[in-house]
Amino acid sequence: MEHKHIQHLYWRTGFGILPAQLNTLSKKSKTEIVAHLFKASKSVTPLKVDTSEIDALFTSKSDFTKENRKKFQEISRKKRLELNVAWIGRLANTDELLREKMTLFWANHFVCEDNNILFIQQFNNTLRKHALGNFKDFVKAISKEAAMTKYLNTKQNRKLKPNENFARELMELFTLGVGNYTEQDIKESARAFTGYNHNFKGEFVLRKPQHDTGNKTFFGKTGNFDGEAIIDIILEKEQCAKYICEKIYKYFVSDVVHKAHIDEMVSVFYPNYNIEKLMRHLLLSDWFYDDENIGTKIKSPIEFLVGINGIVPVQFKNSRQLLYIQKVLGQTLLNPPNVAGWKGGRSWIDSNTIMFRLKLPSILLNNAYISKIEVDDSDSMMDMSSKNRSKKNRFKVEPNWDVFNTNFKKVSLETLENHLLQCHINSKTEDYLQSLKKGTKRDYCIQLMSLPEYQMC
């Protein structure tokens, strides 16, 4: 398999690939390489932070005091930050690469946010567990998650006063897309999800007195439907498979949808909804590796951050600075902008985020500083000086250049760009690269990461 195709595969299903692994895999066939990705992701390793402080707070019903609840909120805020950092760390260091990339994808599909560390951690691991499983089982599991019942108000959905929020988003965002249902379908669906709730531990509980046991008419069918039956009926529609295939295609292949490719994917996905089978077909297809799909997607902020860390591991002394970077770049894990999630694509880049993206490699790897003053000259921006700058503007990080030196020892200075850049280099960038004084591999690495082309994968 060609180097550029392996790199393309590992950027779309992960966050890049190092030279040694690239050389090893180049001796294998596409079928063998894809099979290895799935085999490595068969297992599921939950992502967890230590919540023993919370366990110690509540040992009996009498512990649910106002003071303890306040302590719980404080602990949750601290632990959510820990979970964010742990998730970044997992993405940067995992054997279950495809499962983790799929988890990241599904987190922006089944969008959810919660301040309770127990609930949001459980939700995150439900995404991880079902990431390559059966989509029908996945949707049903999501509908019963404590974080989701809170986020989309299912807890307030009662027999005598239905709340339609979850029912609407279930169809609009999670399964069918806008325009493929009626307002009456939403009303009837909401009745089926009445009584959905959870206990303190986040375990699903159906409050039977609050559940509507009457007949509902949904998509032309009438019966005493509960939430699971509603999901079954929704997934009978081929539109659901088409909607999911289009989202997967835009995330893993191209922002420009190719109808013939979508039709092909739907024929694999519908009606059994096997996510692994769909992804295996996608990654083995010839069109996935077409030149028009290589290096054409803008890296999400998380892909950008994790990708840098894969080349030169960076340790943050203050984890809040990692959170700050995510915020400035426009994607903070566990904190989506709204129920529709991040738009992705071109929305990742604007006049502010592109400037910060181009500066970030120097900030993290070359002890450069953060300036609030716009830098207009691109060459100056590429070659930022770190001398005589205020310490208060610095990030407290430790880049591990020893790891970089080991991994790129056999890569020449002249071929380094082949490992770091995925897209076609335009003539102006080529001229700029030629004009650079290529002092050390380390300096050239930072210069390459500071190029607009490095924003693409």
Angle (nearest 5°) at CA 100 between 95 and 103 = 165
Q: Residue 400 has what pLDDT?
A: 97
CA distances from 191 to 208, 235, 452 (A): 13, 18, 51
If pLDDT is split at 50, 70 and 90, which confidence band does 369 have? Answer: low
What's the CA gap between 93 and 179, in Å, rounded? 41
Check pLDDT > 60 for residue 370.
no
Give CA 327 to chain center in angstroms: 15
Half-sphere exposure of 144 (CA within 13 A, CB side): 15
Q: Residue 379 has what pLDDT?
A: 34
Phi, then psi, of 338 in degrees rounded to 5 = -170, -175
| One-letter identity of residue 105 | F
Q: Report yes or no: 22 and 3 within 8 Å, Cβ to Cβ.
A: yes
Q: Residue 368 has what pLDDT?
A: 59
Q: Residue 434 has what pLDDT?
A: 84
Among 51-60, 148-157, 159-168, where is mean pLDDT lowest? 51-60
If pLDDT is split at 50, 70 and 90, which confidence band does 373 have? Answer: very low
Q: Residue 430 has what pLDDT?
A: 86
Q: How far apart are the first and last CA of the chain?
A: 18
Q: Report yes or no: 359 and 368 within 8 Å, Cβ to Cβ.
A: yes
What's the CA gap between 241 and 354, in Å, rounded? 35
Q: Residue 132 has what pLDDT?
A: 98
pTM (predicted TM-score): 0.94
- Mean per-residue pLDDT, 271-291: 98
Q: Report yes or no: 102 and 132 within 8 Å, Cβ to Cβ.
A: yes
Decide which of 181 and 425 is more confident.
181
What's the CA gap between 207 and 226, in Å, rounded? 13
- Mean per-residue pLDDT, 308-323: 96
Check pLDDT > 90 for residue 384.
no
- Mean per-residue pLDDT, 125-133: 98
Query: Residues 301-313: pLDDT tens digits?
Result: 999 999 999 999 9
Q: Residue 55 has what pLDDT?
A: 86
If pLDDT is split at 50, 70 and 90, which confidence band does 388 have? Answer: very low
Q: Residue 433 has what pLDDT?
A: 83
CA distances from 27 to 20, 31, 373, 398, 408 (A): 12, 12, 49, 35, 19
Decide which of 62 and 226 is more confident.
226
Phi, then psi, of 233 in degrees rounded to 5 = -65, -40
* Contacting residues for 206 by C-beta, under 8 A, at least 6 apart: 195, 196, 197
Mean pLDDT of the chain: 93
Q: Residue 376 has what pLDDT?
A: 36
Q: Residue 363 has what pLDDT?
A: 93
Decide which of 141 and 393 is more confident.
141
Q: Residue 218 has what pLDDT?
A: 98
Query: Residues 61-120: pLDDT tens digits?
Result: 778 888 998 999 999 999 999 999 999 999 999 999 999 999 999 999 999 999 999 999
By three-state DSSP, how is residue 314 classified? strand
Q: Residue 393 has what pLDDT?
A: 58
**Helix (H) and strand (E) counts in the chain:** 23, 6
- Mean per-residue pLDDT, 414-420: 95
